[in-house]
Structure 1
């Protein structure tokens, strides 16, 4: 796991998306991200948002220092275990309710094969098969998507999918999938 000795830098590196309802986003520097091996610019706005759960970080991501550690573990797993260029998701949301920058708005992710270059991937840290994420995580996800629409990163008429809608997987967990199925933007599963 990457070392990150001082969490005081977080306050100085939190990105505030200008105006409106946009939430604070902890930058890559704020959580001590490794540099990516490569990046690909994604054409914006996209018309799809895909919700994921990490499975990793269950029960040990309730404070910002704990979530930073999980962010680093996920990035290490994605880069070293999967051989990807970087952490796979566009953004991740910890049990602390904090939004962490993954690849960021304008970089192609590695979260949903066939959809990576046309979608934003938002991962809620934890395993949500049999319980819901925190209210803070759910509200942060909604706020992040709203911000993306306001800033023209996501189209006004976007479709929301759970990862299982676009790939054969249990992700984003049964309980989280049931929850997002109630959101008005939730689309029927992709063909």
Structure 2
């Protein structure tokens, strides 16, 4: 059964226009979990500011067409639209053509992800499967599974099995 997921839209958090949007050719086959490695944001305005900072860094310093992630989640479970559904991300080099990139906002080498954030991502994945944006037999990975990185941090990586359960 699909659970409603409230997502803060790009316009609500103040996103700049994407330079280009490449559509996925089919439902995503994989979900790749990241962390932003910033401090956790504590309010909607603080999260909005952080999102603008991340998007600016991704576009100006890294040369991306937009913020790299499809969605981001704050510690209180607030979900933010990054590139959104059906759009190829720029979150995991060589692995963006068939995946959905979701970033937990915070640094999970030292912080433990909140149950609210974990639950919000689980609901988002359920919704994605129900809407056809994510294949029902998707594979869930941490960024470190596909590259030489600590991302998504030890404490978030440890809870990935909880995210794999979407029943």
Question: Mapping of 1:24-173 within 5 angstroms?
Answer: 24-56=6-38, 58-59=39-40, 61-173=41-153
List alignment gaps of at least 5 residues for structure 1: 1-18, 186-191
| Paired residue secondary structure (2:158) | helix
> Could you report, residue by residue, the CA deviation over 1:111-148 in whole angstroms, capped at 9, with x for unpaired residues?
01121010000000000012211221111111111110
- Separation of aligned partners in 1, 2:164 and 2:96: 23
| Paired residue secondary structure (1:129) | coil
| Paired residue secondary structure (2:119) | helix
Higher normalized contact order (CA 8 Å, seq sep 6+, divided by chain length)? 2
Bigger radius of gyration: 1
Moved over 6 A (4+): none
Q: Which moved more, 1:111-120 or 1:174-183?
A: 174-183
- Separation of aligned partners in 2, 1:31 and 1:183: 25
Does the Cα contact within 8 Å between 1:45 and 1:154 map onto a contact in 2? yes
| Paired residue secondary structure (1:123) | strand
Does the Cα contact within 8 Å between 1:28 and 1:101 map onto a contact in 2? yes
- Per the alignment, residue 7 of structure 1 pairs with none
Report the TM-score, using the length of structure 2 for normalisation. Answer: 0.94
Give the paired residue count. 165
> How well do the aligned residues superpose, as a CA RMSD in angstroms?
1.4
